[in-house]
Chain A
Amino acid sequence: MVKVILDNITKRFDDFAALKGVTLEITDKEFMALLGPSGSGKSTLLYTIAGIYRPTSGRIYFDDRDVTDVPPKDRNVGLVFQNWALYPHMKVFDNIAFPLELRKFPKEEIAKKVKEVAEMLRIETLLNRYPWQLSGGQQQRVAIARALVKEPDVLLLDEPLSNLDALLRLEVRAELKRLQKELGITAVYVTHDQAEALAMADRIAVIKEGEILQVGDPDEVYYKPKYRFVGGFLGSPPMNFLDAEVQDPYLDVYGNRILIPIQYRELVKKLGVRKVILGFRPHDAEVVRGVAEGLVGTVYSFEPLGREQIVTVSVNGASLKVFAPEGEHFTFGEQVTVKLREDRIILFDKKTEKALEFLEE
């Protein structure tokens, strides 16, 4: 159980900079998600923590211990892979026992520890089978058991749920979150699935092109995105973005005039920005019939999802998605107005795509 500190980590592969000055502190017992699209460098960062990659520059600390030059075997980390990476020629028992055998534990102790961890993950009946005789979910449990059996200081998970089917993923998600808290183990979880990150993590670090854009708890990252990219990457469907022009005290949004949200009035004046991007989440607006105060447009499409429906509205050529309650019936091309929830609106600077409140940072 340690605190992990990444201090200005860069990693270059030949000419390609995979990580560009990553600084991050993961506190003891924390569940940290590294969230980003593929190729963003999140797995590279995880492997750097594991010691598979040596950073080109920067230091890594586990508590006060500088582990930058420590080989993986002496870091005491557990690693779980997307494809689980079970040793195909070993039975489940031997897979789990492997890290302990390498540490020269006595036989009885190995058997005891393997049994314990297998019971914890409910795979004690599978110990005598080969990996190929197991289902995806079972293989995944074995992989987690192998990572946990050596009682690691840090548990590193590289998209461990991506190869499971959707239903099983939801189930394991809840279980894994519970397990991490029960064991009180520091965990770093790499994923490209924003829902997974929001659901499981204590904090989320959003990574893009080798840089951390924002670190915060799920609410913070979801409701207060620092960058347009963060707002667009989290949420399903993601945030809506519309170009807008400041005409104090109004915003001109595709021919519609709305008041500048109250929390931004002074900031807009102070910064003197003219071109902004208006962002809001699909559930922070409502669709009303006919012409009213708000963004007037026509219904492009609608998708009932059971409990609610997603309505796609076309506003003078711009497209936005808004949740509407079930039971309300729309028709294609119908004229509607999208009314925004003022306090949830985020304004981004058009040029830097950074939220106005962070612009001066």
Chain B
Amino acid sequence: MRKEKLRDLSFFLSPMVLMVLLFYLVPLIMTIYISMTRMKNWNVERYLTEFVGIYNYERLFYMFQHDPTFKAVIMTTIVFVGITLMINVFGGLSLALATFFINERAASSYRLLWLLPRMSPIAVYSLVWYYFFHGSEIGTLNSILMSLGLISEPIPWGQVTPWGAWSVIIFVNGLVGVSFGMIVFTSALNQIPKELVIAARVDGASSWQISKRILIPMMKWHLLYVLTWQFLSLLTTYPHLFLLVEWDLVNRDYGTTLALYVFNTAFGRGEQDQGLAAAAAVVLSIIGVIGGFVTLKVLQFEKMMKKPRGDF
């Protein structure tokens, strides 16, 4: 019996265990190891064995204290993740609730509209906003404001530091992320029996009161899930940011988050410093683990766990 159970367990778990080992655990260990070497310019033969202990971490800490560029990266990461997360979660929630109260056919086409940023290729989507926020008079925003007579000179939005650059990257990424929350929350709302909404209406509640008192409390787990998921993906995302910075639309210092910094340091132009990048990646992972863990604990994730259905 015990043996059989073990066999079943290993059969079902082995693909996932293999995946985790190959694509998660091994790279993690390699990253931690590289972060303790002087690895540079992918010169594996020369540097991979040059063990330097926590030297790279000390460098990071020193930069954090004294290097204004790295300070900007940290500030950008905090502001970007914090504000975009709020936009993602509450934007998705508002959209789901708003479309919940309107006619179903109109609602689904409206929701489709918000999926467009997610569906279009990153380069195409980023290009749209590149032209929209472009710093010269060809930029859509500038030309609108100028023809309205609100400004006389084009404004290089992404180069206004720090808030101009931050606004652009938050805006562009915020729009992409909203659809995820919207879909999760919409499906959660559809699971709520319609009698509860009718009952609340008859009890005298407005749409706002129904949302606040009935719908949102019943979506607690979904809220938690979207919050955690989006937090982790915003912490690690960089494709949109990479393009916007590369095209010089936004200021390099205030358009670079820690994730993009890791990428640029390891693979970017000029001198590549994989040791330092790996150290920054490890720090990023630790922040992610702590952050994810805290949200799960604060919102009591373990209460969502269900007992198995039956014994076999």
Contact = CB atoms under 8 A, between A and B. Distances in A.
Interface of A: 47, 50-52, 71-73, 77-79, 81, 83, 85, 87-89, 98-99, 102-103, 146, 150
Given A77-B202, A79-B198, A81-B195, 4 more contacts: A52-B202, A81-B198, A85-B193, A98-B205
Interface stretch (B34-42, B83-91, B210-218): B210-218
Contact of A89 (B198, B202, B217): B217
Nearest to B201: A72
A83 B195 contact: yes
Contacts of B196: 85, 87
B204 A73 contact: yes
Given A85-B195, A87-B196, A72 B218 contact: no
Given A85-B198, A87-B214, A99 B193 contact: no
Contacts of A72: 201-202, 204
Nearest to B197: A85
Given A47-B198, A73-B201, A83 B214 contact: no
B100 to A, nearest CB: 15
Contacts of A81: 195, 198-199
Contact of B201 (A52, A89, A146): A52
B193 to A, nearest CB: 7
Contacts of B218: 88-89
A98 B213 contact: yes
A108 to B, nearest CB: 20
Given A99-B203, A102-B209, A52 B195 contact: no
A103 B203 CA distance: 9
Nearest to B216: A89
Contacts, number: 55
A150 B205 CA distance: 13
User: Which among A47, A78, A98 has the greatest number of chain B C-beta atoms within 10 A?
Assistant: A98
Max chain A C-beta neighbours (<10 A), residue from B193, B196, B198: B198
Contact of B202 (A50, A83, A103): A50
B304 to A, nearest CB: 14
B204 A102 contact: yes
Contacts of A50: 198, 202
Contacts of B198: 47, 50, 52, 79, 81, 85
A146 B203 contact: yes
Contacts of B200: 87, 98
Contacts of A85: 193, 195-196, 198-199
A254 to B, nearest CB: 48
Contacts of B203: 73, 98-99, 102, 146, 150
Given A85-B193, A87-B196, A73 B214 contact: no
A342 B2 CA distance: 77
A131 to B, nearest CB: 11
Nearest to A84: B195
Interface string B180-205: 00000000000001011011111111
B202 A78 contact: yes
B209 A79 contact: no
A80 to B, nearest CB: 9
Top 8 A-B residue pairs of the complex, sorted by shortest distance between their CB atoms: A85-B195, A73-B204, A99-B203, A102-B204, A85-B199, A79-B202, A89-B217, A81-B195
A96 to B, nearest CB: 10
A85 B200 CA distance: 9
B103 to A, nearest CB: 12
12 contacts: A71-B201, A72-B201, A73-B206, A77-B202, A79-B199, A81-B195, A81-B198, A83-B193, A83-B195, A85-B198, A99-B203, A150-B204
A99 B204 contact: yes
Contacts of A71: 201
A157 to B, nearest CB: 12
B216 to A, nearest CB: 10
A16 to B, nearest CB: 16
B168 to A, nearest CB: 40
A103 B209 CA distance: 12
B303 to A, nearest CB: 13
A100 B204 CA distance: 9
Contacts of A78: 202
A89 to B, nearest CB: 5
A148 to B, nearest CB: 12
Given A85-B198, A87-B214, A89-B218, A103 B204 contact: yes
A193 B201 CA distance: 27
A179 B196 CA distance: 25
Contacts of A99: 203-204
Most buried by A among B202, B203, B217: B202
A73 B195 contact: no
Nearest to A85: B195
Nearest to A78: B202
A150 B202 CA distance: 11
Contacts of A146: 199, 203
Nearest to B203: A99
A71 B217 CA distance: 25
Contacts of B217: 89
Nearest to B220: A89
A81 B204 CA distance: 16
A116 B176 CA distance: 53
B210 to A, nearest CB: 10
A146 B203 CA distance: 9
A78 B206 CA distance: 16
Nearest to A89: B217
B124 to A, nearest CB: 38
B198 to A, nearest CB: 5
Contacts of B213: 87, 98
Contacts of B193: 83, 85
A147 B203 CA distance: 8
Contacts of B195: 81, 83, 85
Nearest to B209: A102
Interface hub of B198, B199, B209 (most chain A Cβ within 10 A): B199
A103 B205 CA distance: 9
B37 to A, nearest CB: 53
Contacts of A77: 202
